[in-house]
Amino acid sequence: MTITSKIILAYTVVFGITLAGFAFVIYHSTRTAELEKLDARLDNHATKLQEEIEEIENSGERLLFEKLSRIQTEGLSGLRFRLVDKNGIFCLGDSSLTRLSIPPWPTNEHIPPRREYVTINGQIYRSLWLPADVHGTVVYDVQLVGPIIEMEENLRRLQFIFLIVAPVALLLTALAAFFITRIAFKPITSMIHTTRSITASKLDSRLSVPQTKDEIRELAETLNEMMERIDATFRTQRQFVADASHEIRTPLTIIRSELEFMERHAGKLEAEKSLRIALEELERLSRLTDGLLLLTRLDSPGFVLKIRPVRLDELLIECVQNLKSATVQRRVTIELHIDNAVEVPADRDRLKSVILNLLDNALHYSPVGGVIHLSLTIPSNDALQIIVEDSGPGIAPNDLPFIFKRFYRADTERARENGSGLGLAIAEQVVHLHNGQIRVESTLGVGSKFIVALPFSSS
Ligand code: ADP
């Protein structure tokens, strides 16, 4: 069942119940009012009849039906009466009433009128009994009977009106609900159409945002924002796959051509050189795939760091020791500056690979005899910094914003032939996973300074 149908149904049911309740109240109050009106007219006639009887009895005249029946012609048509004496004997009046039962004899003239419904020839009448007295003694019990046809007709008219009005009103309500919901849901219907048309290859479509300031506008804006994020992620993924394929293709092409060369020159000296090149490219390929694999793992939502307390001062010393032979080989010195022994919760292996990568880059770009400064500082109570500073060629200002991007390599003289362009991207991702930040400051011809800031609590 659609929301539109549910709203129409709810509207109609609620309105139907309200209408039925309203009709019930009107019908019953009208019925009570009509009955009171009939009773009042019967009372009026009864009093007149009573007075007439008493007057005639007092004057000693003969009590005649004709005389008394005058009274009934003055008002209510169809009014009948009868007089019954103490013994329950019919004395005067309409003989058609003699078949009706007689109530107990009234004890005095002051008892209130006794009212009831009676049936004569299948028709319902309203009946009233009133005592008539002479000098304080009840002589007759008088019954007046009035037809309720007029009342019933009025009520039937009312019923008829309700029967006509109610379905029309319900139909109009359902139609109104239908049109209101159609207008209200029009933007949603259009959203459904647009959303249906969106596929992975058509992620640039956006929902039209209604001009109204309501929840539907908010929904459209939120969905558009979500689609924007999905689109951006898809574009990044596509770019990543394209870049990765491109990066993989180059060493593969080299390996293939070197192997073909070896095939042609098998046993010759040149073949050995080709074998070495092919092996180097294989090495580069395997580093690249390792990097790609690691980045994919770091990106996956299920990846968690193995967080343990790590002594950073010890970790930095270990990194320097690991690079000892490389520094000797390149005749570069690493100077270590440690303010304090610091322990932080971190993934030791991942953090070590970040520092090693920064040191490795610094080593690569440092001139022979250069000095690399590796520092551990605590600039504030809630942050610490690991700084790798070299005296290399520096990074051009137009390359600076991109060097943390995947596969980005500045096109410089000293750029590494076998670099993958993934090292800094991996470092940035690992630092982010530690809730830290990595940035670079560099001046061409002076050197580069990579700063890793990590959250830290001094207490
Ligand atoms: P690569 O494997 O190519 O070194 P990285 O992600 O580690 O990949 O570095 C990306 C690029 O950033 C490098 O190609 C280089 O151009 C630049 N770069 C990184 N570190 C330094 C540095 N210490 N000095 C100068 N340029 C650097």
- The CB of 332 under 6 Å from ligand 1? The reply is no
For residue 453, report the phi and psi dihedrals to the nearest 5 degrees: -105, 130
Tokens of 326: 């490389």
For residues 238 and 232, give the distance between their C-alpha atoms in angstroms, rounded to a whole number: 10
β-strands 137-147, 383-389: how paired? unpaired
User: Which residues are bridge partners to 129 per DSSP?
Assistant: 114, 143
For residues 102 and 107, give the distance between their C-alpha atoms in angstroms, rounded to a whole number: 14
The residue nearest atom 14 of ligand 1, judged by CA position, is 409
**DSSP secondary structure code for residue 2 in this structure:** -
Nearest 10 degrees: Cα torsion 21, 27, 32, 35 = -170
For residues 223 and 237, give the distance between their C-alpha atoms in angstroms, rounded to a whole number: 21
Q: 255: CA distance to ligand 1 center in Å?
A: 25
pTM above 0.75, yes or no: no
- In this prediction, residue 360 carries a pLDDT of 95
For residues 344 and 311, give the distance between their C-alpha atoms in angstroms, rounded to a whole number: 7
CA distances from 35 to 42, 129, 313 (A): 10, 16, 103
- In this prediction, residue 252 carries a pLDDT of 93
What's at 435, amino acid-wise?
N
The residue nearest atom 13 of ligand 1, judged by CA position, is 409
For residues 53 and 137, give the distance between their C-alpha atoms in angstroms, rounded to a whole number: 13
- In this prediction, residue 126 carries a pLDDT of 92
- The CB of 409 under 6 Å from ligand 1? The reply is yes
- The CB of 403 under 6 Å from ligand 1? The reply is yes
Q: Which of the listed residues 366, 409, 441 should we mutate to test ligand 1's pocket, taking the one with most ligand atoms within 8 A of CB? A: 409
- In this prediction, residue 388 carries a pLDDT of 98
Closest of 217, 230, 223, 386 to residue 315, by C-alpha: 386
Q: What share of the chain is helix, strand, coil (3-state, %, to 5)?
A: 55, 20, 25
Residue 410 alpha carbon, nearest atom of ligand 1: 16
Q: 406: CA distance to ligand 1 center in Å?
A: 11
Chunked into runs of 10 residues, the chain (459 residues) has average pLDDT values of: 85 92 93 90 85 81 72 68 89 87 86 89 90 83 88 89 91 91 85 84 82 86 92 87 88 92 84 89 91 89 92 96 94 93 94 96 94 93 92 93 90 69 94 96 95 87
